[in-house]
Amino acid sequence: MTDVKITRALLSVSDKAGLADLGRALARHGVELVSTGGTAKALRDEGLEVRDISDLTGFPEMMDGRVKTLHPKVHGGLLAVRDDAAHMAAAADHAIGMIDLVIVNLYPFAQTVAKGAERDEVIENIDIGGPSMVRSAAKNHAFVAIVTDPADYGALIAEMDAKAGATSLELRRRLAATAFSATAAYDATIASWFAFADQGQAFPPALSVPLSKGAELRYGENPHQSAALYLPTGPAARGIAQAEQVQGKELSYNNYNDADAALELVSEFRDGPPTVVIVKHANPCGVASADTLIEAYEAALACDSVSAFGGIIAVNRPLDGPTAEAISGIFTEVVAAPAADEAARAVFAKKKNLRLLITGDLPDPARPGLTMKTIAGGMLVQSRDNGRVTRDMLKVVTKRQPTSQELEDCLFAWTVAKHVKSNAIVYAKGGSTAGVGAGQMNRLESARIAAWKAKDAADKANWAEPRTIGSAVASDAFFPFADGLLAAVEAGATAVIQPGGSIRDAEVIAAADEAGLAMVFTGMRHFRH
């Protein structure tokens, strides 16, 4: 069986977009329209002749509409194999007519949850009859066309016009694949709601993650890899994936990954002063807060102007013209901002390859959620690292108490270190990173690299000394030996913030006391792999 002429269509939709045009197109081809409740009314309001589903089944819609299409005269008409004599004989014996086309989109479950509806309303928006019809029609796609997305109405109409009211097997196969994806995502959304929102489970026995493809990307991390962006189908925090791209060429896999890292870090400062984050290969290479956005950018850039070339920038304030002019001074891949004024947009318009992303409200860094990482043969799932440290949570473990400024620098460095690949060492002074050491196999090397970067930055800027002099240093995990701490002392740090918890804490504290450092423990680590 290839082409199938459509003589009867069953329509039952929550989303009425495009319904009128579709109904008129079907009527033009002489298709009998069978429909339910609100869909039937909408079609009749357009002057179309519609047969009620109750007339087809011989049973009224009942139980507040919960039961209307769950009937053999519906599913028999969908599932009958047309070239099977026994199937057609059974259909004839029970007066079951064939249904050649089903137009269904499902109750708006995700939208109902998103608007904060009460539990009873959420439950009522679990569609039963719709997914049943979709699955029946999709299974029997050799004979039945199933359309679940209004975006496919045009393709259906075009094919019927080209084939005198018939559909091809190729189209029906494609529509069936779309239909099964739709019901799978729908059920996954419901399962997720039950597990997380209704039952409060952290890790349910089966994890369903409903996603829909947002875009295919040019390639993955490397040109020989393929990639795509998928978006959650249910309620989710807005982020880089939902940002509006104002200009610039298509975003790559690495652009998305780096821009996400930048946005997540700058969001830590969403209630703070103007802050700029510069990221390269998912690691911050410069972060600064200041009285103005342009001052913050200049301070962040000065931390590591070499790595900033070709980097990703995120800011926590609407982007203004002067800051955009400063950013345009070097090659930048992506800039993400909550908003951008006309002056900033005009500046960037001259840089045709620069991508400007408007994010709207920054995501809440303290929000709950899960992170996932594939491994060979499985997937690792954990809660988001939304841990945060405040001054009153810090424990001073050295003889010398930190000054107020040192505490401020400690907390700034700690916030940045949370977003640096482990082993992470971050020096900070006066609301700006001085040096960042990321991703080394031991903490000592990270401390040395961060200090070397600070010295290099000072040489390039013709400063009298590197900004590590008088800085605070953050370590994302405890110092297992005193050597990493001593490297920080050598770099000029005067205060240290670290989790503590090493069997050699006493040795490290003694080294800090001997050097005259102030050191605080957070009791929390931030490994980031």
- Show Cβ contacts of residue 116 under 8 Å, excluding neighbours closer than 6 positions: none
> How many other C-beta atoms lie within 10 A of the C-beta of residue 336?
26
Angle between helices 72-79 and 85-93 (to 10 degrees): 160
- State the number of CA atoms in the 13 A half-sphere of 291 facing the CB: 0
Task: Given the residues 139, 141, 213, 351, select the one marked as catalytic.
Answer: 139
Which one of 29, 163, 281, 351 is the catalytic residue? 281
Contacts of 275 (CB under 8 A, 6+ apart): 266, 269, 287, 288, 289, 296, 315, 316, 317
Radius of gyration of the chain (CA): 30
Q: Check residue 321 and give left, alpha or beta (phi > 0: left; psi -120 to 50: alpha).
A: alpha
- Among this protein's residues, is 71 annotated catalytic? no
Contact 218, 252 (CB under 8 A): yes
In the three-class reduction of DSSP (H, G, I as helix; E, B as strand; rest coil), residue 293 is classed as helix
Token pair of 420, please? 């640096």
The C-alpha atoms of residue 176 and residue 170 are separated, in whole angstroms, by: 10
Q: Give the H/E segment covering residue 228.
A: strand 227-232
What's the per-residue H, E or C state across 354-392?
A: CEEEECCCCCCCCCCCEEEEEECCEEEEEECCCCCCCHH
Asked if residues 467 and 424 have their Cβ atoms less than 8 Å apart, the reply is no
The neighbour count for residue 284, using CB atoms within 10 Å, is: 30
Picking from 120, 126, 174, the residue whose alpha carbon sits closest to that of residue 146 is 174
Nearest CA among 349, 350, 352, 347 for reference residue 325: 347
| Gap between the Cα atoms of 498 and 503, Å rounded | 14
Kindly compute the dihedral angle of the four CA atoms of residues 318, 321, 322, 328, in this order, to the nearest 10 degrees: 100
| Whether residue 213 lies in the annotated active site | no
Nearest to 246 by CA among 146, 354, 167, 158: 354
- The alpha-helical segments, DSSP class H, found in 29-126 are 37-45, 53-57, 72-79, 85-93, 109-114, 119-124
- The answer to whether the CB of 517 falls within 8 A of the CB of 496 is yes
Query: How far is it, in rounded angstroms, from Cα 334 to Cα 356?
Result: 6
Q: Give catalytic residue positions.
A: 139, 281
